Structure 1
Amino acid sequence: MRADRHQHQKPKKKKWKIIVLILLLLIAGTIAYSYVQFKQGISQSKEKAEVDTLEYEFNGDKDAYGGTSVLLLGSDARGNEKSRADTIMVAQYHPDYGTYKLISIMRDTYVDIPGHGKGKINAAFALGGPELLRQTIKENFDIDSQYYSIVDFEGFVHLIDEAFPKGVEIEVEKAMSAYIGVTLEPGLQRLDGEHLLGYVRFRHDAVGDFGRVERQQKTMRVLADQFMSLQSVAKLPKLVGVMTPFVNTNMAAKDILYIGKDFISAKNREIETLRIPIDGSYHDERISGVGSVLALDFEKNKQAIHDFLAQ
């Protein structure tokens, strides 16, 4: 009896060993495939990439709400030029809740810049790179960022053209042409990188920078939606590879893939947005030597950020 039981157990053990071996081979194959796709994406974009290649110090940490936050910056110059940040956003992903949130900080916001006195928030990038901008945001708004990502204008154009070869479908709400280098007509249309850049940069109308920030947030949501409708988890490594040469970031590729994978597989992919300053919390002011600024009620804006990020 005991001998028979022992003989029956051997095939079962062997069967489980085979199953484990197959699973390990599948995992190894998936990793190898992802790596090859990632490298192919990099090779596809590398010759066109002309972005800032400086390695920046960045000492950020997770935000106080348990999320992973990324300081997203659009730069108005290339290479080693000192430039102001044309676009300032803080993106938060919360793995426990599966939420994606985006805070836009208007570039004319008048703040304390550590070690440099008062100035427009976008000047902090020119004075001390993403680390000083991170410190400035933390000191004035009490939120931190663990990572940074910088895309300059030329990189943005190439990135859009590589990732969306048929263009990005977006509703252009009005005719736009002043100081953006392209002419846009109203209506639903597909925009290539150059025209989409013009769309997100336009601000010469009655609403000025407020309209531009609204278009930037709208474009981020549109890009996320259209990427998810076209791509799959299997194609994600190549797209991350395509993006990599156009973005200066301290995020590792595995972290980008992890967040991207969760976004693709999520049932609710909505990106919530907030603009700083919020309505009723600021006034226009003119400062000698600085120009027109937005003077904020910081307590109101810090509370709005807390309410937005807290679960």
Structure 2
Amino acid sequence: MRVERHKRKKRFRKVFAILFILLLSVVGYIYIQYRSGIAESLKLTDSNQQEFEFNGKKDQYGGINILLLGSDTYEKERSRADTIMIVHYNKDKGTYKITSIMRDTYVEIPGHGKNKINAALALGGPELMRKTIKNNFNLDIQHYAMVNFEGFVHVVDELFPDGVKVNVEKKIVESPEMTIEPGIQKLDGKHLLAYVRFRRDAEGDFGRVKRQQEVIKTIANEMTSIHGVTKMPKLVGMITPFINTNLNTGNMIFIGKDYFLNKDQQIESFRIPVDGTYTDKRVSAGAVLDIDLNKNKEALHEFIQK
């Protein structure tokens, strides 16, 4: 009996030792890949970033929301948000959703009166933007991620050296040196940035928001098909120096792993203001979208819950 117990203990120790070595190997692989990604990106940018206050939490539905902001530069005090998106992740439902808020949406900014929502970033950083969204739409946001346009170009070029495949609906001319022809195109960082920022047509900002959502979905799909889940730590490392965020590496991998593991995962999108719930108006802040706040708030919560 004693001999048998001794054998069982010996087998247990052996299995435990093997599992421990495997765990260390996985952790080591993740760390090495992550540091490798950072090292590659630091050749192109400085790692020193301004730290921002952000006091958000999970929403009332148990989901994780990430405030995604794009601007000319996040280092300048008076920089307004050019892009305002909320990425919604619900672990229990396994859903990924994106809400875009038009930058000219006319809302109450806490402590500053009514203004275009994109002014909140210049007036008080990502925390004031969070408070503005919370106060107007009753939705809290746990994390933020800000990328400036130079960072966007670097991230795209690092992740997709052959470019991102986009179906360009019509010819886009930003300048004589920056022209994008219609049809299926592989766009590098500079051309993709021009594509998502373009608004000199009949659709204006509405067309730009549509293109931004389309590109986010395309990039997410290409990352799963080209890179795969095993390269996630390196991808996170490559992106980190270009993005100012309160998400840590563990957060990013936790939120992204389900998407990487599920090849059929779909990203749903939504826009504020909803069609038929706003009027064009000119105020002291300039041309704005004067929205029916209650209708947009109700539509947003319906989108998140479904």
| Residues 60 and 147 in structure 1, CA contact (< 8 A), matched pair in contact too | yes
| Residues 224 and 263 in structure 2, CA contact (< 8 A), matched pair in contact too | no
| Residues 52 and 152 in structure 1, CA contact (< 8 A), matched pair in contact too | no
| Partner residue, 1:303 | 298
| Residues 56 and 130 in structure 1, CA contact (< 8 A), matched pair in contact too | yes
Using the TM superposition, give the Cα deviation of residue 50 of structure 1 relative to its aligned residue in structure 2, in angstroms: 5.6
* 2:174 match: secondary structure: coil
Q: Which runs of 4+ in 1 moved over 6 A?
A: none
Q: 1:218 aligns with which of 214, 217, 229?
A: 214
Query: TM-score with structure 1 length normalisation?
Result: 0.95
| Residues 169 and 189 in structure 1, CA contact (< 8 A), matched pair in contact too | yes
Using the TM superposition, give the Cα deviation of residue 51 of structure 1 relative to its aligned residue in structure 2, in angstroms: 8.3
- For residues 299 and 80 of structure 2, what CA distance do their matches in structure 1 show? 26
% of aligned pairs identical? 52
Query: TM-score with structure 2 length normalisation?
Result: 0.97
| Residues 284 and 292 in structure 1, CA contact (< 8 A), matched pair in contact too | yes
Q: 1:111 aligns with which of 97, 104, 107?
A: 107
Seen in structure 2, the aligned counterparts of structure 1 residues 179 and 79 have a Cα distance that, compared at 3 Å, is farther
- For residues 63 and 227 of structure 2, what CA distance do their matches in structure 1 show? 25
- For residues 249 and 195 of structure 2, what CA distance do their matches in structure 1 show? 29
- For residues 231 and 170 of structure 1, what CA distance do their matches in structure 2 show? 18
1:47 partner letter: K
Matches within 5 A, 1:36-75: 36-49=32-45, 53-75=49-71
* 2:19 match: secondary structure: helix
| Partner residue, 2:259 | 263
- For residues 164 and 91 of structure 2, what CA distance do their matches in structure 1 show? 28
- For residues 46 and 268 of structure 2, what CA distance do their matches in structure 1 show? 31
| Residues 74 and 147 in structure 2, CA contact (< 8 A), matched pair in contact too | no
| Residues 174 and 194 in structure 2, CA contact (< 8 A), matched pair in contact too | no
| Residues 84 and 122 in structure 1, CA contact (< 8 A), matched pair in contact too | yes
State the superposition RMSD in angstroms.
1.5
Say yes or no: does 1:15 pair with 2:11. Answer: yes
**What count of residue pairs does the alignment treat as equivalent?**
306
* 2:178 match: secondary structure: coil
Using the TM superposition, give the Cα deviation of residue 177 of structure 1 relative to its aligned residue in structure 2, in angstroms: 1.1
Matches within 5 A, 1:230-269: 230-266=226-262, 268-269=264-265
Seen in structure 2, the aligned counterparts of structure 1 residues 181 and 301 have a Cα distance that, compared at 3 Å, is farther
1:161 partner letter: D
Using the TM superposition, give the Cα deviation of residue 144 of structure 1 relative to its aligned residue in structure 2, in angstroms: 1.0
